[in-house]
Structure 1
Amino acid sequence: MSETPTKGWVPDEVDTTVPSMARAYDFLLGGAHNFAVDRMVADQAEKLMPGAAKIARLNRAFLGRAVRYLLNAGVKQFLDVGSGIPTVGNVHEVAQQINPEARVLYVDKDPIAVAHSELMLGANDKAEILRADMRDPDSIIGSSQARRLLDFDEPIALLMVMMVHWVPDADDPWALIAQYRDALPAGSYLALSHVTADQRQDQIADAKDMIQESRSADQLTPRSHEQVVRLFNGFDLVEPGVVGCGLWHPGGPGDIADNHELNAHVYAGVGKKLP
């Protein structure tokens, strides 16, 4: 595949010789905002862990189902942390198709994700992108964008889809999510998906090593079912709890794979904040 022309859409600060997992994920989803080095990492992931692209699409389908579930539960505002590069089925597109008044604040630290989100959202006064690191919740919750879009007297859906496995244990993701939880009003929700270490352990270990050797700033920390469930401390898990993302309220063939391992390779769940 030839290199996508970069003039006009790549911020000057981006080093196109170092892979980004956001851009590799974009490629796995069929997006165009990625470079040769990102595609190389994605191709290697597919070789080391066959079905990686399918897993990415299963996870994206989970995101759409979770957003629709939350809208049906009465949620009208979403905080999507680690939103990534815009592709098909973005949160505001799913949400506003059902409720045109739904509001979405996207958060990402990747400059390309931010730049393209800004272009996409330019005419949408109910959705915005904030460039910030998810490990600094105070800067996100206290931002002018959050103050404009989010009403902290009403339930908010916090989305962390395929994000927390990029947070190492040293940064204590459990305490980090607790900070977000404590800032959310009663009746809020957490929707989360996370790569697991419980399936195909040798393959995920090889993929983790490959990412580490790639010089990417993003380093994978797969976690067990018990560790992912702990991320929902203080939330009442919606049935069926934390399960493979393909098994969370599947609605059709695109939501679930015939291969059980592909459905279970990423854990997913939704929880409601306890009173």
Structure 2
Amino acid sequence: MTAVTVRSAAPGQIDLTRPSCARLYDYYLGGSHNFAIDREYGRRAIAQWPQLPAMVRANRDFLRRAVRYAVRNGIRQFLDIGSGIPTAGNVHEVARRADPGARVVYVDIDPVAVAHSRAMLAGCSGVTVLQADLRDTQAVLRDSEVRRVIDFSRPVALLTLGVLHQIPDADDPRGVLGEYHDALCSGSLLVISHGADDIEPDRAHAHQRLYAGFGTPLWFRGRSQVLDLFGDFEVLEPGVVPLPEWRPDSFEVDAHDLHRMSVYGGMGRKS
């Protein structure tokens, strides 16, 4: 793994007075690709919601299960939007254990996350990193590097894990996903994980207020709202459920922890 300094990560683009969602996520996972500001606010968030690191790990486990499902069902191309920093066990590693020819595009808006990702993935063929906003669908879909790696005439797994709750209703996340839907061919998959505001609503709302104070507001949603985000994608079994319930590798799930896992996950297929 290549070390990335603050200077080399994103010259002139780093605001060290504000945490980054991508770097906070890395901190919750116990990673090293974060700055002092991220660790400071991360500790505050965990003090408020102690199960937060467990939820982030559950999200990473869900990612792996979803990628393995996609590969088992013949998909070898992945567009991971809001990818953050591709630390150990990320999409290309999981997919390539099943098929070394799997191809992956990582997309994130955070310049530091993108710089870290490019340094870590340098020399990794069939994988590229794009800095873009998921709402700018044409910037993502028409990018020359994206087109070099992904053949949109073949099925793609579109991964949106832990990113859509950063998009307000006013920006129409369902409509944005609809634009990706229209660009993908039949058999493509959409994977969503999304913070819930209807499992532990008091904690969720307090967490939203805390992140708003960081300058990185979140918009958690209820199960029916997350289900609606799939639009014209056919939602596959077991539906939109708390992350540990989605095709678990083990059924030894603590019922109390499951109830408190305030993140939904689901997968849809384009017919």
The answer, yes or no, to whether TM exceeds 0.5 is yes
Alignment of 1:1-275 (within 5 A): 6=6, 8-9=8-9, 11-214=11-214, 216=215, 218-252=216-250, 259-263=257-261, 265-274=262-271
The alpha-carbon deviation at position 38 of structure 1 amounts to: 1.1
**TM-score scaled to structure 2, two decimals?**
0.94
Whole-Å separation in 2 of the counterparts to 1:127 and 1:255:
34
The alpha-carbon deviation at position 256 of structure 1 amounts to: 7.2
In structure 2, list runs of 5 or more residues that go unmatched: none
1:104 match: secondary structure: strand
Whole-Å separation in 1 of the counterparts to 2:157 and 2:62:
15
Seen in structure 2, the aligned counterparts of structure 1 residues 149 and 5 have a Cα distance that, compared at 3 Å, is closer
How many percent of aligned residue pairs carry the same amino acid?
43
Whole-Å separation in 1 of the counterparts to 2:81 and 2:252:
24
CA contact (8 A) 1:161 1:191 kept: yes
Seen in structure 2, the aligned counterparts of structure 1 residues 128 and 255 have a Cα distance that, compared at 3 Å, is farther
* Alignment length (residue pairs): 268
CA contact (8 A) 1:191 1:270 kept: yes
CA contact (8 A) 2:9 2:111 kept: no
Whole-Å separation in 1 of the counterparts to 2:225 and 2:258:
21
Seen in structure 2, the aligned counterparts of structure 1 residues 255 and 77 have a Cα distance that, compared at 3 Å, is farther
CA deviations on 1:88-117 (whole Å, 9 max, x unpaired) are 211001111210010001101111111111
Q: Say which is worse superposed, 100-109 or 231-240, in terms of deviation.
A: 231-240
The alpha-carbon deviation at position 82 of structure 1 amounts to: 0.5
In structure 1, list runs of 5 or more residues that go unmatched: none
The alpha-carbon deviation at position 48 of structure 1 amounts to: 1.6
The alpha-carbon deviation at position 126 of structure 1 amounts to: 0.5
**TM-score scaled to structure 1, two decimals?**
0.93
